[in-house]
Structure 1
Amino acid sequence: MNEKELEIVKSTNKKSKPQTDQISFGKTFTDHMFIMDYEADIGWNNPRIVPYEPITLDPASMIFHYGQTVFEGLKAYRSEDNRILLFRPDKNLQRLNLSSERLSIPAIDEESVMNYLKQLVSLEQDWIPTTEGTSLYIRPFIIATETNLSVAPSQSYKFMIILSPVGSYFSGGIKPVSINVEEQFTRAVKGGTGTAKTAGNYSSGYQAQAKAKNEGNADVLWLDGLEKRYIEEVGSMNIFFKINGEVVTPELNGSILNGITRMSIIEVLNEWEIPVVERKISIEELYQAYADGELEEAFGAGTAAVISPVGELNWLGRKMVINNNQIGALSKKLYDEITGIQTGKLVDSHQWILEV
């Protein structure tokens, strides 16, 4: 589509901003939001930035009945020299369109939306916290809005972007967590929606996460849905293992989300000439590596935490304590590298940063 002129309606009732030490993840929202509509006969239209407020939908809107929705998550960072930085936002918009394709949602024009996103973040730049470990979380999402109970793709949609200042993902620093290997529930299977960022993928994991937390674990390690053998993801993040000097991560198989942090870690490891492979890895193989003393580190990777070290895995009553439940040297080095690039402290030799 040709880029439509962006309408901006500024809020006349500005909110008070929270203290940095009082910011909870995803509970505080900025003064403005972006909205764009879609109708089948005219395409995406009417892009606008308006004051943040509730939206009104008909009870028969198809999002409520058939779950046709996709979303993304990325962050804006404030550098020490007061620049506003986005980390690989083009990859988020590319993935949003891939998710939309799987959910039969019309594609957005990535270049136009990038410009709208930059204008929204620029308008709300005073909301970007400056304390180390903080950022402005960006949530683009699309919902089906047609008033129709027929089981078919909607003919109208609403694309929105909301912003939320967030504190450090870890209180008290980056610490290893305990993970339960899930044997009963399935997150996704090949041919399903596991490669898309869509709402149902997350709510279908709540029971497994609740069970894990009741047993003293922080999250869930998902196995494949067919054989319940092959490792896929941890919670809402990709997973990596350092085994006998080599970094292993499950290959993208049609049910694993292609994480942008995952992608970046692989590129950094290749640059550092540290062996890294994407392949199938079974939970039995991982346990054998642990028993042989070769499982050196494990960590999740995602936008929210960047790196989430795993200190303990619990599988069928067997406990794997990894690196004495301490963050590994490679996990820490990767965390420092990625966050350093994101916040402008390190040179961005990859051209991953977009300055607003």
Structure 2
Amino acid sequence: MSDFRTKVGVERFYQVLFYIIAQALKLDGFLNPVISAVDSRPLFANVGGPGKKHCDCAAKKNCSCEKTFTDPDAAVGTMRKKTNMNKYFVGYRKHTIVCHSKQGPVPLISITLPANVHDVNVLLPLLEKLKQVEDLKLEYLVADLGYFDQVVNVQALSKHDVILSTGVKKNTVLPEDMNKDLQFVCPQGHPLIWDSFDKQTLDVWFKGDEDHCRSCLFNPTCEKFFHKNHLEKPLINSPVPHGSRLQIELNKFRKQVELNFAMESNALDSVMRHKKLPVRGLPRVQVFAIMTDIFRLIKMMIKHRRATVIPRERDKFLNKMRINSFTHPVGV
């Protein structure tokens, strides 16, 4: 198996993954690419102890060779603080775009890089890689603030036609014309209703609420339509309305993706202890991550077909036939 992974290579495994995704898109009611999410999780490298010099110099204490781990491609990264765990770890970080489906979050594509690579530098390569899949069109991509960047958000919208949605922290300084419920207000202090988003000018349009406009003294002279540009404050002037049902569903799906990553991380316990990777080196780790996504996608495709094609009473019927075959043998 190790020789097979070495000879096939990373790009060939990506082509296999894209072919299976194309087959999954043909299943009715399986994938819902309208809602998707991007997130990352740490992959602990299979290393033993701190970094050491692995050079052939006679005087290793005085030489200027760099200290490396037993996995030379692994790097030191940070992760969320957990009980009895260090903030820093040695290994890689797997960045994955996950799609919504009735069977749960479905991983579409992953890029695995050393742990010291920032999340925001991986978003555009992920979208560029995913363009190789035919008939796949993402619309809304929810992410945490680690993937937020003004330039990256605009490029994702202009080049890939994907709207990136991120949450707003509680300590964020809000503009003067926005209330605590993250709703823009008119000059008279009435909440505005989100109307539309112009992808050409990147303007977010709002309109006045008729219930408030009827009793307003400035109703005859008010334009009743207001706009904010997405480039001025991308986090606040989001194409996805704050507090809307769409944003609630996106944030709910992002939490499901985080739980899905935790289950995937726990699955490594059956391979090696302490959730460490069973392979070393960036190319082999990338192949291992792609194969994990392929196997999970195939399992969910099988689960979907069983839930939609196979009759619900099939198992009961087969068990009944099995019992009858034992109680009334054919030869009797």
With the shorter chain as reference, the TM-score category is: under 0.3
Please identify which structure carries the higher helix content.
Answer: 2
The higher-RCO structure (CA 8 Å, 6+ apart) is 2
Q: Which has the higher strand share?
A: 1
- TM-score w.r.t. length of structure 1: 0.25
TM-score, normalisation: structure 2: 0.26
